Structure 1
Amino acid sequence: MTDPSDLRVVGRVVKAHGLRGELVVEPSTDQAEERFAPGVVLALADGRTLTITAARWHSGRLLVSAEEVADRDAAEAMRRAELRAPASEGDVADDDEFHDHQLEGLRAELGDGSVVGTVVAVSHGAGGELLVLEPPGGGELLVPFVKAIVPTVDVAGGRVVLDPPEGLLDPPG
């Protein structure tokens, strides 16, 4: 496959579906039909690959079958796996959507320019995305990645501007 640094997350396995090893996938691309078409090979973080044999929409969820996933146990073992493919311009459809790699490394600052930390990761959960920040003194801050709290994402300028509610950035305790 391609150099791992050129790969982008195109979906995540949410859970297993049925007994034959189908995967419920949450796509993170607007090209789900192309990215999960039969014959497409996707990369996993551990270096393995997944060859898509079928994909279908069922009750608003994308169900994917792969050669390497033969049964429910194998599908369960795939839970939370990130599915990666070579970058494509069509993966991000508008100016308010970003790939994780575009956000990682950006400086996080307040509206007055004071630095809060650096975006080190994007955490994807059932409740939405969180920016994982590393403050200058170390540790970790989690900031909901919503327009009200992160009103400005300036990839070209290397920063995100935060407008956090009171207490969000306070240390625990």
Structure 2
Amino acid sequence: MAARPDLVCVGAFAGAHGVRGALKLRSFTEEPEAIAHYGPLYDESGERRFEIRLEGRSGKLLLARVAGIADRNAAEALKGLRLHVPREVLPPPEADEFYVVDLIGLAAELPDGGAFGTVIAVHDFGAGELLEIRTEAGRSEMIPFTAAAVPAVDRAAGRIVIDPPPGLVGGPVEKGIEKGAEDAAEEENEDEEGDET
């Protein structure tokens, strides 16, 4: 199923809690409990609908009951599923604010103004948001969405400025490929030299 562009991701199921179908829920809203105030939640296609009721917290995660989920197996099957709401139920952002989903499609530039790529996705695996950027060279790079790594977001101009830490972008992969190519070339030269004797 294709993702619906009118849906905004507000959280994700993080796994089962106990044996009676309760779920751990990671909320991406500014006030975590607000996730329960927007009405039903949906998967990214909008096909599956979830009615949730919050029951407390477990560390940084919320605990929730979901209509129709009555045992641990059913709850565990939802682990990792991202939860969305229609954009129109969310309050409009202030002039200097934005929803993270609004970053998708923006150009990514380096501090010197050089083109780097385009934001194609935003991920949150629990340790903070990551921007997935398709580079001008066609690679995918993950950039932490922090003030240091992304010092400027200019939605009106359709761009962000990225300043990733040294070695984060392209370094190890490109060096590994170059090193592998150099090793292969050396082996080929050694084989050719061996054939001449």
What number of residue pairs does the alignment pair up?
167
| TM-score relative to the length of structure 1 | 0.85
Q: Which has the higher helix share?
A: 2
1:162, 1:24 → 2: CA distance? Answer: 33
2:70, 2:19 → 1: CA distance? Answer: 9
Aligned-residue RMSD, C-alpha: 2.4
Question: What are the equivalent positions in structure 2 for 1:28-47 lying under 5 Å apart?
Answer: 28-30=28-30, 32-37=32-37, 40-46=39-45, 47=47
In structure 2, the partner of 1:89 is 91
User: Percent of aligned pairs with the same residue?
Assistant: 40
Question: What are the equivalent positions in structure 2 for 1:39-118 lying under 5 Å apart?
Answer: 40-46=39-45, 47-52=47-52, 54-60=53-59, 61-87=61-87, 88-89=90-91, 95=96, 98-118=98-118
1:76, 1:93 → 2: CA distance? Answer: 37
5+ residue gaps, structure 2, are 177-197
Cα distance 1:168–1:40, how it changes in 2: closer, same or farther (>3 A)? same
Q: Which has the higher strand share?
A: 1
In structure 2, the partner of 1:150 is 150
Please state whether the residue corresponding to 2:51 is helix, strand or coil.
strand
5+ residue gaps, structure 1, are none
Greater length-normalized contact order (CA 8 Å, ≥ 6 residues apart):
1
| TM-score relative to the length of structure 2 | 0.76
Query: In the alignment, is the contact (CA less than 8 A) between 1:100 and 1:121 conserved in 2?
Result: no
Please state whether the residue corresponding to 1:165 is helix, strand or coil.
coil
